[in-house]
């Protein structure tokens, strides 16, 4: 077994403020990469700016990253960062700005490269990245992945380079005023990471340990998704569960539900977490009988009595989709060609079983 997780993580109240000296010390000028609105509303952007100013580190803000960032958006942000002379990158937001920040850090470092470099299998250096998550889903603050939309291929794909942030500053307070839909969609993405990583070809006792504890912590806070009045600690719990699940997928990568989700996101604009969550009951249902004790353990740890109850949960909080037969066929045929995702499944899955997973989404 082996396990590698090089990101320095602080999870605490006022994490950015408490560790701003370290954050500001990665270079002379930061490129802050974020989305249009939320980091201004939840205070994360101001916390980062205050921290950089306190230690006299210059910065420039690029705040035009949208959901499911494209390769072109990354190239635009990188050109801006180069022009500004940035020598490190601070990503603030959900997975979209954090992933964009990693890809931008690669492009800025490799000055004259074109966008093709993102998907080339060559070893390249990148600028240091600091990650400040504001959703509870992707775990991008502790993963080496940067998932971008490749418009010409009508799909999403992680870039070829593995870029762990140097520093992750995790604070549940940024979630407090988020709409329930953002909390739900992202918490369900984290759930997908736990389950796909646990039932993954590359899972080891190290990664399963992270998944198991992530499930326990997630289960403690899941009432929030059903509309239970949140306890103060629930926001931190959801973020913690997301980071733990991120560490697990850093080791294993994600599995089939993520592979299938990209079709729904790219073709039908379904948010990432929802697109993943809809396939999770189906994935558990096609696991061979010998996995049953582990499936029961996972569901109980999360707070579900049975697979049926779990399906009820995903349908209640995520809704259903209205997929046509043609769409279902395209999705299954597409994933059946994706050897990487098929290899992630720890048994020989058939096309019929993938159809079965999809039928639970309709």
Shortest Å distance, C-beta 306 to ligand NAP: 27
CB of 193 to Fe ion, least distance (A): 6
For residue 164, give both structure tokens: 């762990």
| Joined tokens for residue 358 | 């999809």
Q: Are 174 and 157 in contact (CB under 8 A)?
A: no
Q: Name, in order, each residue with C-beta under 8 angstroms of 271's C-beta and a sequence gap of 6 or more.
A: 67, 181, 185, 265
User: What DSSP character marks residue 70?
Assistant: B
Count of positions on this chain that bind Fe ion (CB under 5 A): 1
Q: Which residues bind ligand NAP (CB under 6 A)?
A: 35-39, 42, 67-68, 93-97, 99, 134-135, 137-140, 143, 145-147, 156, 174-175, 178, 182, 186, 189, 272-273
Closest distance to ligand NAP from the beta carbon of 156 (Å): 6
DSSP letter assigned to residue 19: T
Residue 290 CB, shortest distance to ligand NAP, in Å, is: 28
The entry of Fe ion, ligand NAP, none that residue 178 binds, CB within 5 to 8 Å by partner kind: ligand NAP
Residue nearer to ligand NAP on the CB measure, 239 or 360? 239
Closest CA to 138 of 108, 104, 100: 100
Q: Which listed option, Fe ion, ligand NAP, none, makes contact with residue 143 (CB within 5 to 8 Å by class)? A: ligand NAP
Partner from Fe ion, ligand NAP, none contacting 182, C-beta within 5 to 8 A by type: ligand NAP
Q: With binding defined as CB under 5 A, does residue 99 bind Fe ion?
A: no
Token pair in block for residue 264: 């729904």
- Cα(169)–Cα(123) distance, rounded to whole angstroms? 27
What is the closest distance, in whole angstroms, from the C-beta atom of residue 289 to Fe ion in the complex?
Answer: 28
Of these partners, ligand NAP, Fe ion, none, which one is at the site of residue 199 (CB under 5 to 8 Å by kind)? none
The residue among 231 and 292 lying less far from ligand NAP, judged by its C-beta, is 231
Tokens linked to 278: 């809809």
Give, as ranges, the residues between 171 and 200 that touch Fe ion (CB under 5 A): 189
* CB contact at 8 A, 101 and 78: no
What DSSP letter does each residue of 281-320 carry, written as one string? Answer: HHHHHHS-GGGHHHHHHHHHHHT-SSHHHHHHHHHHHH--
Q: Is residue 249 within 8 Å of 189, Cβ to Cβ?
A: no
Which residue lies nearer to ligand NAP by CB, 86 or 178? 178
Nearer to ligand NAP, 182 or 331 (CB): 182
Tokens of 270: 């379904």
Nearer to ligand NAP, 341 or 353 (CB): 341
Q: Can you give the binding site for Fe ion, defined by CB under 5 A?
A: 189
């Amino acid at each position: 077994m082996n396990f590698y997780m090089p990101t320095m993580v602080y999870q605490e109240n006022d994490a950015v403020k408490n560790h701003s000296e370290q954050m500001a010390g990665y270079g002379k000028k930061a490129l802050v990469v974020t989305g249009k609105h939320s980091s201004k509303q939840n205070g994360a952007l101001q916390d980062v700016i205050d921290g950089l100013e306190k230690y006299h580190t210059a910065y420039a803000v690029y705040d035009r990253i949208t959901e499911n960032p494209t390769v072109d958006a990354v190239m635009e942000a990188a050109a801006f960062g180069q022009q500004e002379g940035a020598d490190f990158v601070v990503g603030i937001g959900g997975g979209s700005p954090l992933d964009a920040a990693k890809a931008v850090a690669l492009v800025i470092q490799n000055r004259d490269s074109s966008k093709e470099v993102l998907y080339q299998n060559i070893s390249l250096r990148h600028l240091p990245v600091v990650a400040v998550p504001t959703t509870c889903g992707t775990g991008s603050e502790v993963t080496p992945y940067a998932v971008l939309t490749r418009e010409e291929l009508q799909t999403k794909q992680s870039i070829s380079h593995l870029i762990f942030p140097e520093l992750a500053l995790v604070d549940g307070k940024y979630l407090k005023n988020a709409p329930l839909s953002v909390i739900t969609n992202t918490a369900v993405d984290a759930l997908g990471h736990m389950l796909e990583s646990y039932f993954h070809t590359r899972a080891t006792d190290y990664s399963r340990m992270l998944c198991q504890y992530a499930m326990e912590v997630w289960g403690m806070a899941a009432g929030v998704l059903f509309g239970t009045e949140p306890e103060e600690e629930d926001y931190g719990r959801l973020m913690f569960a997301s980071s733990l699940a991120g560490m697990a997928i850093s080791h294993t990568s994600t599995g089939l539900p993520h592979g299938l989700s990209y079709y729904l996101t790219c073709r039908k604009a379904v948010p990432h977490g929802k697109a993943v969550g809809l396939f999770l009951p189906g994935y558990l249902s096609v696991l061979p009988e010998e996995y049953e004790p582990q499936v029961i353990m996972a569901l109980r740890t999360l707070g579900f009595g049975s697979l049926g109850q779990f399906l009820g949960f995903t349908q209640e909080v995520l809704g259903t989709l209205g997929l046509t037969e043609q769409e279902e066929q395209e999705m299954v045929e597409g994933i059946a060609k994706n050897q990487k995702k098929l290899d992630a499944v720890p048994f020989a899955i058939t096309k019929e079983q993938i159809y079965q997973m999809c039928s639970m989404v309709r």
